[in-house]
Amino acid sequence: MAPQRAVQLSLKKPTYAVCVVGVETYVDVHSDVPKGAETFGVSGSPGVEVFVIYDPARVTVPTGKTRWPLDANVDVTVSADAASKALHDLKVKVSYFGRQEAGALGHSVLYLTAADVSLDVDTGRTGKVKRNHDDKKTWRWGPEGYGAVLLVNCDRDSVVSAGPDLTNSQLATLDDLQDMSPMVLSCDGPDSLFDTHKLVLDVPFSDSRRVGVFCARGGTSLKDYKQVLGPQRLSYEVERQPGERKISFFVEGLAFPDVDFLGLVSLSVSLVDTGTLPEVPLFTDTVAFRVAPWIMTPNTQPPLELYACSVVDSHGSNKKFLEDMSDLALKANCKLIICPQIENRNDRWIQDEMEFGYTEAPHKAFPVVFDSPRNRGLKHFPYKRILGPDFGYVTREILFAGASSLDSFGNLDVSPPVTVGGKEYPLGRILIGSSFPKSGGRRMAKVVRDFLQAQQVQAPVELYSDWLSVGHMDEFLSFVPTSDQKGFRLLLASPIACLKLFQQKKEEGYGEAAQFDAYEEHGFGRELAPRQSSVSPFSDCVAWIMSLNLSLPPTRREAVNMVVLGKHLGIPKPFGPIIDGRCCLEEKVRSLLEPLGLRCIFIDDYLSYHELLGEIHCGTNVRRQPFSFKWWHMVP
């Protein structure tokens, strides 16, 4: 809001002024006063509210409140409760009196013209704009919070667009308006008032790169909408038509929160008197938006789409693996999407290339793919094939350096909702594989870590994964949903648990049973004699990670690089020793997971993935349902 205006009265002639509905105007009753005057009375015509402001400790209220002492401790403000129908149709009269009971010593008259000017957005987060006189220029988190939300317009609603919609200064389709937040400008008042006054919409320079505003002129064609604010335009003189009382705008976000952007933007409208030099803003109304964050979804969210790549190598094609994925997707009631070899350029590690998430406002939500900076064979797949109508795209590139293995998104995960030290994380916490603290080892690129941290709603945690050759977290941990009260479990790989199982089976008389027996003709068979020294470093690192206070439920330790589709788990076939006609490793995993309501489906990925230092999770990706919890209800 602009500072409260002061209107100075005159005994010699009427004073004319413009006010804004619902906004108090200070009336100076002290500057031009008749000689001998000691009290005054003030009245307003219908439609005008008069307020006498005083300090009860210093001023005695007069009988009937008709004549107030004329000193500096008593002030007067007025406001209008509706827009004027004509110029100067509202009246305020001030009469001055002396000590005697005679008539007034003089009168001052103020004629007001009231304009109804208000900039309104969805501060209540209901999906609709409602007129609001409360504080619109601040934004508050939490279930009792308020403030409007912007979506980053990062999808591509028109096939003719070259990139995301946010790169266009013109609408390519009316569908794009659904991705924008509505904003309404009230501009009621006599048409002749706007011959000498104008409405100006502004965006601060610091926000102009992050927000765009389109003006709607009531039609249904693309030409009826034009961008009026954005990176190239900081101010717009509103084109009000005669008799027009409301003007609609649509606001889009142009950037997600990041290290240099907290996510808050503001827009203002000013009523400006053009009859003065310099022009004077009489009133300013400001609204604030927060740009909706990018949100990851954990394995506990229901699956919608399963992605995998079709590849050919020295062992042939992975057709059988894709058939197994198709069967798994059918069981889980989700869609299988296969990236053909011509598009993946024989890069099968689709989990490393991208991470699915979403963004949400009260009026709409849509999925957004985060493209990693690894830039290998699948480099163009997220942008060319996933970006589309109501499917957004975001990426962060590493400048002046190449990507390391830890920049792949197999090294990025998110927990289910957790509570840590009494602090609730209703959208879970992002997990990033990193080096041992203060060791100077490999870390995920700062530009990616900064982006994830800036989203605020899934506070990232860095875990030690650099001890692995590839260095990805999905090599040793995974979350699965469960049907009990806990709702999920964290699975951790444990070579020691595997060693104990093998030793147990050896003591039971199965020492000659071989691992990888199915691949014995390739020389893969191994007797049950693993060495302790080969598993201790792995287990020590996993144990150290679990010593961190992540407040996670009790864990199971087994093969974890799996794809989780609801209760259906696609687990790499371990080819363990066959005992009584069954793989003892599979039986052990089933005994741990199936009592939790999960279904274990073992899939052969040995030649196509395992031999290339990856497993099923590395070679698949899953888009999941968003959380039902609204991110703006939390307090970061």
In sequence order, the 6+-apart residues with CB closer than 8 A to the CB of 394 are 152, 154, 256, 294, 368, 369, 370, 371
Backbone angles phi, psi at 500, to 5 degrees: -65, -40
Q: Strand 392-395 and strand 364-371: pairing?
A: parallel
122 close to 149: Cβ distance less than 8 angstroms: yes
418 close to 425: Cβ distance less than 8 angstroms: yes
Positive or negative, the Cα torsion across 462, 464, 466, 470? negative
Residue type, 32: D
24 close to 78: Cβ distance less than 8 angstroms: yes
Q: Which two structure tokens, joined as six digits, stand for 145?
A: 């919070």
Whether residue 281 is preceded by a cis peptide bond, meaning omega within 30 degrees of 0, is no
Spans of the chain below 70 pLDDT: 1-4, 518-558
Q: What secondary structure letter does DSSP report for 167?
A: G
Q: Report pLDDT for 544.
A: 58
Q: Report pLDDT for 513.
A: 86
Q: What secondary structure letter does DSSP report for 635?
A: -
Backbone angles phi, psi at 449, to 5 degrees: -60, -40
Please name which of 533, 516, 539 lies closest in space to residue 604, comparing C-alpha atoms: 516
Q: Report pLDDT for 266.
A: 98
d(CA 24, CA 20): 8
Q: Report pLDDT for 557.
A: 36
CA within 13 Å, CB half, 325: 25
Q: Which two structure tokens, joined as six digits, stand for 622?
A: 């899953």
Query: Where in the sequence numbering do the catalytic residues fall?
Result: 352, 472, 474, 618
Q: Report pLDDT for 541.
A: 64
For 506-534, the DSSP string reads IIIIITT-EETGGGGGGT--EES---GGG
In sequence order, the 6+-apart residues with CB closer than 8 A to the CB of 164 are 153, 154, 155, 156, 387, 392, 393
Q: Which two structure tokens, joined as six digits, stand for 154?
A: 């990062």
3-class secondary structure per residue, 423-484? EEECCCCEEEEECCCCCCCCCCCHHHHHHHHHCCCCCCEEEECCCCCCCCHHHCEEEEECCC
SS3 282: strand
Q: Strand 235-237 and strand 225-229: pairing?
A: unpaired
Q: Report pLDDT for 277.
A: 87
Residue type, 51: F
Q: Report pLDDT for 607.
A: 92
- From the number of C-beta atoms within 10 Å of its C-beta (0-12, 13-18, 19+), residue 20 rates as buried
d(CA 474, CA 495): 15
Please state, as a whole number, how many other Cβ atoms lie within 10 Å of the Cβ of residue 554: 7
481 close to 300: Cβ distance less than 8 angstroms: yes
Q: What secondary structure letter does DSSP report for 625?
A: P
Q: Which two structure tokens, joined as six digits, stand for 297?
A: 């979804």
Question: Which residue segments constitute the domains of the chain, with CATH numbers given?
Answer: 7-116 (2.60.40.1860), 122-291 (2.60.40.1700), 396-473 (no CATH)
555 close to 491: Cβ distance less than 8 angstroms: yes
CA dihedral 520, 526, 528, 532 (to 10 degrees): -160
Q: Report pLDDT for 520.
A: 57
Q: Report pLDDT for 485.
A: 87
84 close to 190: Cβ distance less than 8 angstroms: yes
Q: Report pLDDT for 440.
A: 82
Q: What secondary structure letter does DSSP report for 501?
A: H
3-class secondary structure per residue, 410-438? HHEEECCCEEECCEEECCCCEEEEECCCC
